[in-house]
Structure 1
Amino acid sequence: MQVKRFFAADMRQAMKMVRDELGADAAILSNRRVAGGIELTAALDYQTPAPSLPNTALEAELRKTQVRIAEAHAQLSIRAPGLSDVQAKSSQLLGIEKPDTRQEPVLSEPKPSAVAVDPTAATKAVIAEERRALEAMRSELVGLRELIEVQLGSIAWGQMQSKRPDEANIWRRLQRMGLPADLSRNLMNRVADVSDSRQAWRMVLAYLAQALDTPQIDLLEQGGVVALVGPAGAGKTTTLAKMAASYVLKYGAQSLALVTMDSHRIGAQEQVKTLGHILDVPVAIVDPRQSLAHALEPFARKRMVLIDTAGLPANDPALRLQLEALANPKLNIRNYLVMAVTSQSQVLKSAYHSYKRCGLSGCMLTKLDEAGSLGEALGLAIGHHIPVAYLSDGPRIPDDLQIARSHQLVSRAVNRQSPDEPCEEIMADMFAELYQRPAQRAG
């Protein structure tokens, strides 16, 4: 029998390591959480040990222990008033007798005890021990749940391949597009009764386009105060330059103003100043000690004001102050999250949760010309009901900025799908996610 221990960041990676190292016939002996991830012990050619003969001596000791526990519970039930359950338990463990209230008070001076025991310290020790035991139990349950989810995902994917190969093929295509598991499931549920695989695929894409929310009116035509928010490197300043140039070409420079709140990135303010000089529009720089409302006062009569913001880490206190200023209802600012589709799914999710506090009116997708897939960004926009306003697919100003249209965006996502078929482990992991997330409607 071959026994080996594996360390990984999570249960899925650990199971993949077991499959790669020992094969699909390996048996999982134990799993537990350790610092930095999961420790998993697996064996190949594992034989279940035969049940051993009963140990009479051990059984007798267990019965004695049960009697003692019952006696302790009986004593606890009649303990003195004011003594808590944990205090009574700690007193028994330390050998402290429960005071008998029926005895007369002793008037003589008590003899000094050889060992002074602090009931409060004993109580804290018992509570700490119980918390450690509960935490260990919770960790084992979480590990066991993850293990079951991975196994269920593998079983479900294997059954689909053997019983419904056409449906499995559509699942693979959705995975190549980069769509998340819960969105893929919702789309597949819509076409569950369609027998023709080609018709089912066309309907899946139609439902995906229907789930995407795109504005009917161009953002530049609406006017108002618009702020671009998002992490560093998402393309906020470039997208603002494209919007400003498009606005000047359509409506002129007299009714446009630019504002920058980015005082953290080197050269950020100079970029906006240069843009304003080229377009001949006024530019206001918001000092960290200055309020945004004060900076916007001179532009009260402007038809449109575009605000460039700083891309700050989620734990930076300056980000909280910036979002609070943008969320001020008196300023009536519409905030748009700028997301680079080249970012990983976790990065996109983190950006959304960091910037949703200012109230998002929509999003803009950038770097479409560099993306390997669009499914991650589309899944986030659909899952959180974020309208997609603009698409940026190149460096040219203002040519590489288009108004988002749902069917065109889905067509781009299909054209950008990965050319390689996903491996069996990836598909099994995708199905395992379905056991972790609640079902959500696609549109």
Structure 2
Amino acid sequence: MGVHRFIGTSARDAMRQVRESLGDEALILSNRQVEGGVEIVAMLDADQESLTGQPAEPAPLEPVAPTPVTPDPMPASSSAAVTAPQEMQAFSARLMDEFAAMRDLLDARLSTPTAPEEKATPATRLRQRMIGVGFSQTLVRELIALLPAEFADTADEDIDEALNGWISRQLAARLETLETDSDLLAEGGVMALIGPTGVGKTTTTAKLASRYVMAHGNRDAALITTDSYRIGAQEQLRIYARLLGVEVHALEGDGDLGALLARLMTPRRALLQMQRATPKRTILIDTLGMSQRDPRLATEVARLGEAGVPIATLLVLDAASHGDTLEQVVAAYQQAADRAGTPIRGCIITKLDESARPATVLDILARHRLQVLFVANGQRVPEDLAAVDVAALVHEALSVDSASPFGYDAATLAEMAGQTRQSKAHALSRDVVSHGRALHAMFDTLARRAPGTPLLEQLWAHGLSNAPGESFAAHMAARSPLTVAPNEEHALWWSKEKGSRQQDWSMPLVSLDDHGLPLPQTWLRHRLPTSEAERMRWARETHQSAWHLMAALPQIDEMHRLAADRQLWMSAATASRRVRYQGERQRLADLAGLAAEIDQRQCRWRARPVNMVLSCLPALYETRGSGAPVEVLVWFARLHDVDDNRVLAQRYWLSNAVTGRDVASRLARAVALEGLEGLTRQAMRRLEESGVARSDRETRLQLASGLAALATRLELCSEDWAMDVRAQLFNLSGGTRRRTGTVLLEALMQAFTARDALMDARS
């Protein structure tokens, strides 16, 4: 008995598999949702009939007396109703036996011992260990490159301890600290604490002042606050100053910091004689806290450089902040301090006791090579300010439990290691050399199978450089036409001239091959002649077009000219368009029932396969004020769902009555090309987001339309080369994806980016 099981991504996909395997006479036994899609169990109808047949009774071993036959008073139909349950019971029993055999097979496979899990390498252990506790991928990759080969021979029970010791040594080599905790304060001078709001600058200022007073006394120390915005900030520092017995000064936003520092460091002689002032050897400045994104940050830090006195800037970092926030803070304050001429002297880590993952701030300091001066782990003054113990910090960072809803699980860490399909797009940018041959082969295939791809590559390279000067698209408009293979006809797809109201550009013209598939060679409409007659002459003489697929009807004079040149044209039309049929002007929608069906074929529409039923009717087309009418063919198409055969859409076209031309297959392409303009809009947005051709809008439009045309060609083409290229693009995007223009467009842009990375690596 042939019971078959089909699994598809959707019910429609599973039904398609059933039809392809068993035909239209299949009997559906079950339909249910499973992991990965929909499962359908089906069998041939003929097999079901054979199962319901009555099996012959075996002959008895010994003769028995015949049983008298009693006439059956019921009609034949009633007899069949009685035997039907017995037949269904027999069928059910056979079906259950089949399922039992399938279950036994699955149990046998599941009970087979699986291969032992591959031993994790030291690099994998290091990655999982460090990223799991909060270190960045950037630092982890840097350390993995330096991982000693000897770790490969370390026993499993010793590898974690060995790695922890090695990580501590590596971080200790990257974290700069003071030789002794008193070096900074012993040097004296002016020190300004800078950093975002809420990181603890005021409390840290008081802690530093306390350490100095305990070691050197309070006569030659002073405190300054420039925070005139935060309520209570100045009063908070005054309280600490009174407790320590040191001077404190509040400077308003427009105050002269240089004058105040000069007065404190070199007081007037009269004040010295009166013993009302002493020169200040150490001055601590509590600055105004500002966000790293505040445009006033550079101005505030610039006040320190304009003071006329050397000032050591100390950046205060909150260990409880997110890594991305700390990265922005360091970048913004380093840039502002460098411009002000007061480079950051070092950092003070605060709120270490509040940090769930201390590894984050250690990572920032190690990568930016910032000296760690002190560590604050509480609010007490001055007890909760300690010297830096790198070994203790690293131990604390590595001791964090890696289990966290905001952390990385094993699957994510495996993805970062390049072990899953989702990571392949990212791994390609990091390992472009190993993927170079595949990329080169793919672009070589596209150049041969999709003429115009090399020109698309030139547009991409120019757009990536954003070079100023004359529009590159204007230069491309003067290029030679594509070379047409023998016995093939070149064509053009003409979109609507005005385009959508949502965009301020018109869709370019797109070149088509002999089969109606788009080519990545497009033509900016505003770079072509202005009149329709001149544009059609350009298409005939320069582009060498043999036929035309149009979104709007040409003028009637152009229809006569195309008919005289025996050039085929096909144009989309609306259901309300009128033609003359049997002497009367009638709407196309009213003539659909009179047309003769001439073709049925499968095509793609809105990224899905559909069945197209095509009908045709001869008619005359005329407009008011025109001359003789034009003989046309009216084409009617019904698009049916491939599974349930329901009508999804209807389409209408007009074409000239040129004999010997393949219209049906080209109209099937016209259905798929309806999404070309929308795909071009998506490409325009993606290019703008990526900064490609930012300074050359024409180049961006031509590049976007070329990428959309190439993605559409790959979606529609069923040849082996297109299947291979799609597989490579899907692999680049991170595994199997739907065969849609949007997915292929995104994958093409990733392929161009990866090729650029490869060229950069080679150079």
Unaligned runs of 5+ in 1: 4-21, 27-43, 46-160, 439-443
Q: 2:168 aligns with which of 205, 215, 219?
A: 205
Is 1:405 paired with 2:386? Answer: no
Q: 2:379 aligns with which of 369, 375, 395?
A: 395
* CA deviations over 1:338-370 (Å, ceiling 9, x no partner): 111110111111211221121211111111111
What's the TM-score once normalised by structure 2's chain length?
Answer: 0.35
The answer for the alignment partner of 2:399 in structure 1 is 415
Q: Residue 170 of structure 2: SS of its match in structure 1?
A: helix
Deviation, 1:267, is 0.7
Deviation, 1:320, is 2.3
Contact 2:403 2:409 in 1 (8 A): no
Is 1:305 paired with 2:283? Answer: yes
Q: Which moved more, 1:228-237 or 1:411-420?
A: 411-420
Paired amino acid for 1:214: T
Distance verdict in 2 for CA 1:312–1:250, change over 3 Å: same
* CA deviations over 1:41-65 (Å, ceiling 9, x no partner): xxx68xxxxxxxxxxxxxxxxxxxx
CA distance in 2, matches of 1:292, 1:436: 50
The answer for the alignment partner of 1:230 in structure 2 is 195
The answer for the alignment partner of 2:120 in structure 1 is 164
* CA deviations over 1:203-254 (Å, ceiling 9, x no partner): 1221122111112143112211111111111111111111111111111100
Distance verdict in 2 for CA 1:232–1:281, change over 3 Å: same
Deviation, 1:417, is 4.8
CA distance in 2, matches of 1:182, 1:316: 27
CA distance in 1, matches of 2:296, 2:378: 31
Contact 2:319 2:350 in 1 (8 A): yes
Deviation, 1:317, is 4.6
The answer for the alignment partner of 1:7 in structure 2 is none
* CA deviations over 1:308-335 (Å, ceiling 9, x no partner): 0111234545422211012348321111
Higher relative contact order (CA 8 A, sep 6+): 1
What's the TM-score once normalised by structure 1's chain length?
Answer: 0.60
Q: How does 1:89-238 map to 2 (within 5 A)?
A: 162=118, 164-193=120-149, 194-195=151-152, 196=154, 197=159, 198-217=161-180, 218-238=183-203
Deviation, 1:418, is 3.4
Is 1:272 paired with 2:228? Answer: no
CA distance in 1, matches of 2:415, 2:195: 30
Distance verdict in 2 for CA 1:315–1:256, change over 3 Å: same
The answer for the alignment partner of 1:243 in structure 2 is 208
Paired amino acid for 2:123: E
The answer for the alignment partner of 2:308 in structure 1 is 330
Which has the higher Rg, Structure 1 or Structure 2? 2
Q: Residue 397 of structure 2: SS of its match in structure 1?
A: helix
* CA deviations over 1:108-163 (Å, ceiling 9, x no partner): xxxxxxxxxxxxxxxxxxxxxxxxxxxxxxxxxxxxxxxxxxxxxxxxxxxxx846
Paired amino acid for 2:170: Y
The answer for the alignment partner of 1:382 in structure 2 is 366
The answer for the alignment partner of 1:56 in structure 2 is none
Contact 1:363 1:390 in 2 (8 A): yes
CA distance in 2, matches of 1:333, 1:434: 45
Contact 1:373 1:418 in 2 (8 A): no
CA distance in 2, matches of 1:235, 1:254: 25
Q: Which moved more, 1:323-332 or 1:366-375?
A: 323-332
Contact 2:123 2:147 in 1 (8 A): no
CA distance in 1, matches of 2:197, 2:214: 28
- Percent identity, please: 31
Paired amino acid for 1:393: N
The answer for the alignment partner of 1:103 in structure 2 is none
* CA deviations over 1:81-101 (Å, ceiling 9, x no partner): xxxxxxxxxxxxxxxxxxxxx
Could you say what the CA RMSD is over the residues aligned between the two structures, in angstroms? 2.9
